[in-house]
Chain A
Amino acid sequence: MNRSRTMTMASAAIIAVLGLSACAGGGGGGGETTAPEAEIGGEIQYAWWGGPARNEKTQAVIDLYQEANPEVTVQGTTAEFAAYFEQATVQAAGKNLPCVPQMQNRLMADYADRGALMPLDDLVDSGAIDVSNIPESVLESGRGSDGNLYMIPYGAAFGSMIVNTTQVEAAGLDLPPEGYDWDWLAEWGADLTKAQGKPSLDLVRSQTDSLEAWMRSHGKDLYEDGQLGFDEGDLVDFWDYVTDLQDSGVAIPAETASEQNSLPLEQLGVSTGNQATVVWPANGLGTAQATIDAAAPGNTLATYPLPTGPDGYGNAFWVSGLAISANCSNVPTAASFIDFFVNDPEAATVYASDNGANVNTENLQLILDDEATTPAKKAELELYAFVADQDVAPAVYGKGYASIFQQNLPRFYQQVAFGELSSKEAAKQFIQEAEAVLG
């Protein structure tokens, strides 16, 4: 790239930023200034989380975008989910978060509340980012506690029970019926364990997702108005339910759960044919099926919604989307990239709902109609449509999700499982620490 061109781009970027801030300062009156093509150009960084398969798909989307916008270079960076957010924390602290960081509603508050992300409402109003095909309820999950839009959603994932139907049928048991509940699961798991002679359920490894489904199906939630949405007694009920399953050998023992806590799906028993079920986001089905096809051919995996309780289905949607960092200096290009990612039909089919069902309703239909879509992906998307039909209440997450639910929850549960604390004492301490985090 020659110098004069760099200079032109830099000045274009500066003008764009000035233009935007003027627009923001002007309040509602600035809605008409649609970002002209000339402002789009230069280089932006886009960071996402995921494994090798998703990296390939994401790169394909980037290539399509660069083809359509040859004046733009998109630098991609990637890491696994947990590592991604650790990195993002440090980058946000140093004010060098990539221009377009991928976000998720469960963890977004820690970034949005602290001013690391840019409100996107003006870009939506100006038409730079088109959200007309995203249902309002889904768009809501991209809003921060101040009501501003910080993330444009593109994929909705949800927890599911991945079941090895071949093994279940070989054991002479029924597959989970529609609306099966927690009691049914405990009995069925016990029968399956008896037939197979090994633990069949996995609710405790990374138990946040199981806990969330339990709370929501019992009329509670992880968060309520930014505070914890359940109390000590609720947590004790859940822990007693899973410890009973563990003690009777139906669920994997605490040692195994701890060992597997950070393993990717490919290395878990359900993917290698050693375990009949696992609680995992439904968009993992394709990966698990591909792994088991190689490791133990002849096994078919299927996804089911998480168990129901007195208050119906406990599923929640974990919505991933794209944000713009507060320190981004090339906002028009970032906005144009996001608009492309969320709306372009070709990009949608190439990405194939890899990080949860595409929330753009038109593109979701395209993927369902696409011949290249694998049966596993179709099954997942159909399950998404089914769960979405069950009137799932929107899940609103407060701050400290990583700290409270990814770190503290398994830690206190382990102290129960290894006999260091009673479930009541551990629940009490868990709630205390969570309240300290939430303030």
Chain B
Amino acid sequence: MSQLVADLVSVENDEGAAPGGRAIPPRSAAQKRRRRKETLSAYAFLSPWLLGLLAIVLGPMLASLYLSFTRYDLIGTPEFIGLDNYVRMLFEDPRFYRTVGVTAMYTLISVPAILIFSLLLAMFLNRGIRFLGIYRALFYLPSLLGGSVAIAVLWLQVFGSEGIFNAVLALVGIDGPSWIGSPSYALLTVIALSVWTFGSTMVIFLAGLRQIPDTYYEAASLDGASKFRQFLSITLPHLTPVIFFNGLLTIVNALQSFTPAYVISGGTGQPADSLLLYTVYLYLRGFVDFQMGYASALAWGLLLALAAITALLFWSTRFWVFYGEDS
């Protein structure tokens, strides 16, 4: 890590030493001393961030790695038990597979839904309509609110069996079910809440759309290509880097989603474990069952899964992501 930082710092110094691309003169001892001094001051400036990284991110992460090999009830002393937690996770805990199933279902539905929905809206907003700024702000608003406890509580009221949503359905003669209390619908309700927070993906798509040169579209329409054809052959290929970026972020977010499912299920993952997202399960094991060692193992399981999925996605880019003609 610090080697990487040092490399970055020295690259910057190289550029600083040779402004305007002039030839670099041979280094004298004095220059070397100055460079070392600069490196040191760079570290000094970086130190608050480095300290934060060590104390707030890396420290706890390493602690949780250790704890994942222990039995730890939060208050007593951790007791080393080797790989027992991981063995239990993979072979002895049916609820682990339940939560993996729920989380996979959540991710597989919500990620494509968010991507498609926000892309459609971005394309709609990209047509140079009036009051664009206002629409963009309005559509972005849910993203600022969506992950919050307040909205999850509101969602409870809207989608309860006697909530507003069913009241509206009743107007057209439909007797709606309990969208939150029934295991068949609860996850879909939470997915709907996640799709509703499409704002940031939409803004990134909009930026991506703006970057596609108009000349392509002009040429295509001269050749008589339909709008749909233009979308398939111009818009989509040019957007693939943005789709990749948005897709990666949305997947990582989805796998770590916690607040909406936690609030809507009253902190239990109910009904019948249908809202038992991975992080909710991890939380329950750690803070309700006092099995912090096992919860740490679950956290590392998630981290490894995230790393594997991210690596797979990066590897797959060579087949579908288009970075322009020159690449």
Contact = CB atoms under 8 A, between A and B. Distances in A.
A3 B288 CA distance: 42
Interface in B46-89: 73-76
28 contacts: A90-B74, A92-B74, A93-B74, A93-B292, A111-B75, A114-B75, A115-B75, A116-B75, A255-B161, A255-B182, A256-B181, A257-B181, A258-B182, A258-B271, A258-B272, A259-B160, A259-B180, A260-B181, A261-B266, A400-B289, A403-B290, A410-B270, A411-B269, A411-B270, A411-B273, A414-B270, A414-B271, A418-B271
Interface in B152-196: 156, 160-161, 177-178, 180-183
Interface centre among A258, A402, A403, A411 (most CB of B within 10 A): A258
Interface string A90-117: 1011000000000000000011001110
Contacts of A169: none
B197 interface: no
Contact of B76 (A90, A115, A256, A420): A115
Given A255-B161, A255-B181, A255-B182, A407 B268 contact: yes
B287 interface: yes
B287 A411 contact: no
B190 to A, nearest CB: 14
Given A255-B177, A418-B183, A261 B74 contact: no
Nearest to A429: B94
Contact of B270 (A82, A258, A402): A258
Given A402-B288, A418-B271, A114 B73 contact: yes
Contacts of B301: none
A56 interface: no
B178 A259 contact: yes
A423 B79 CA distance: 37
A254 B186 CA distance: 13
A262 B183 contact: no
**Max chain A CB contacts within 10 Å: which of B180, B267, B271?**
B271
B284 interface: yes
B284 A407 contact: yes
Contacts of B161: 255-256, 259
B85 to A, nearest CB: 14
Contacts of B292: 93
A258 B186 CA distance: 11
Given A255-B182, A407-B268, A415-B273, 13 more contacts: A86-B288, A114-B73, A114-B74, A255-B161, A255-B177, A255-B181, A258-B181, A262-B266, A403-B290, A410-B270, A414-B183, A414-B271, A418-B272
Nearest to A95: B75
A103 B292 CA distance: 22
Contact of A92 (B75, B160, B269, B271): B75
Contacts of A258: 178, 180-182, 270-272
B272 A415 contact: yes
Contact of A255 (B266, B269, B271, B288): B271
Given A86-B287, A110-B290, A262-B266, A93 B75 contact: yes
A399 to B, nearest CB: 9
B287 A114 contact: no
A254 B271 contact: yes
A411 B266 contact: no
A86 B288 CA distance: 7
Nearest to B184: A418
A437 interface: yes
Interface string A378-418: 00000000000000000000001011001100110011011
Give the top 7 A-B pairs by smallest Cβ distance, nearest first: A262-B266, A255-B181, A259-B181, A255-B178, A258-B271, A114-B75, A93-B74
A89 interface: yes
Given A411-B270, A418-B271, A114 B181 contact: no
B77 to A, nearest CB: 11
B288 A403 contact: yes
A108 to B, nearest CB: 13
Name which of B75, B160, B267, B292 has the most chain A CB atoms within 10 A of its CB.
Answer: B75
A411 B268 contact: yes
A89 B290 contact: yes
B81 to A, nearest CB: 14
A274 to B, nearest CB: 8
A111 B183 CA distance: 34
A82 B160 contact: no
Contacts of B182: 255, 258, 418
Contacts of A261: 266, 268, 270
Contacts of B156: 259
A411 B273 CA distance: 7
A249 to B, nearest CB: 14
A90 B268 contact: no
Interface string B111-150: 0000000000000000000000000000000000000000
Given A92-B74, A258-B181, A410 B287 contact: no
A116 B177 CA distance: 45
A82 B267 contact: yes
A429 to B, nearest CB: 9
Contacts of A86: 267, 287-288
Contact of B272 (A259, A400, A414): A414
Contacts of A406: 288
B64 to A, nearest CB: 13
B76 A114 contact: yes
A254 B178 CA distance: 10
Contacts of A402: 288
A93 B292 CA distance: 10
Contacts of A262: 266-268
Q: Max chain A CB contacts within 10 Å: which of B183, B268, B272?
A: B272
B271 A407 contact: no
A124 to B, nearest CB: 24
Interface string B249-280: 00000000000000000111111110000000
Nearest to B271: A258
B308 to A, nearest CB: 30
A86 B283 CA distance: 10
